[in-house]
Amino acid sequence: RMEATLSQFRVEIDTQLVLRQVTKTEARERLDTLQRQLLTWKKKAVAAQVDAVLVQVLAEARARVAEGHTTALFTLPITSDAAAIKRTMDEVKKAAPTLSFLCMATGETDKIPVFAVVTETATQQRGLKANEWIQATMQQFQGRGGGKPSNAQGTVVVPAAGTVGEVAQQLQQAADAFLLRPRAA
């Protein structure tokens, strides 16, 4: 929202305001500084949000492994920031290397990134493949995605008549149902 306001302000400076050229240049420079500060603050906010979510997810992943589970589904209230998603995947893989998992990032209002990581053991012994898990999970929403048997990702656009919460619940049901299907190892 702030980014849109700053962008609109830039357009107004360039097209509507009658100022000396020096004043316009100064205004543009100040606006550039504000946009850089906003981006820095947003990155810090996303990093802090991911840190908080990771504490919970890592504890849950370790608990699932301790209970003897080999799969998990996580709903993460984070944005679709690629670095945040990669960090989450890497941290969970490191904390629970025997766990295959599917995550949904529900921190935005119009789309839900979905990503899956499947261990080699799960692929060999159970026939579980991340790319198939992603495709089956997103199928009802015509989500786009793909990958390899070991990891895959995709994105589902939230329909205008739906909410992120509703879509995430349906995605979780589809992901659970996929895990219950028989598969050849």
Higher pLDDT, 160 or 21: 160
The reported pTM is 0.78
Cα–Cα distance between 134 and 102 in angstroms, integer? 8
Mean pLDDT of 66-85: 89
**Residue 56 clears pLDDT 70, i.e. is over it:** yes
Whether residue 10 contacts residue 27, with contact meaning beta carbons closer than 8 Å, is answered with: no
Taking residues 92-109, report their average pLDDT: 93
**Can you list the positions of beta strands (E) in the chain?**
71-76, 100-105, 111-117, 144-147, 151-157
Does residue 120 carry a pLDDT above 70?
Answer: yes
Ramachandran angles phi, psi of 112, nearest 5°:
-130, 110
Question: pLDDT category, 175, cuts 50, 70, 90?
Answer: very high
Confidence of residue 94 (pLDDT cuts 50, 70, 90): very high
Reported as a pLDDT band with limits 50, 70 and 90, residue 122 is very high
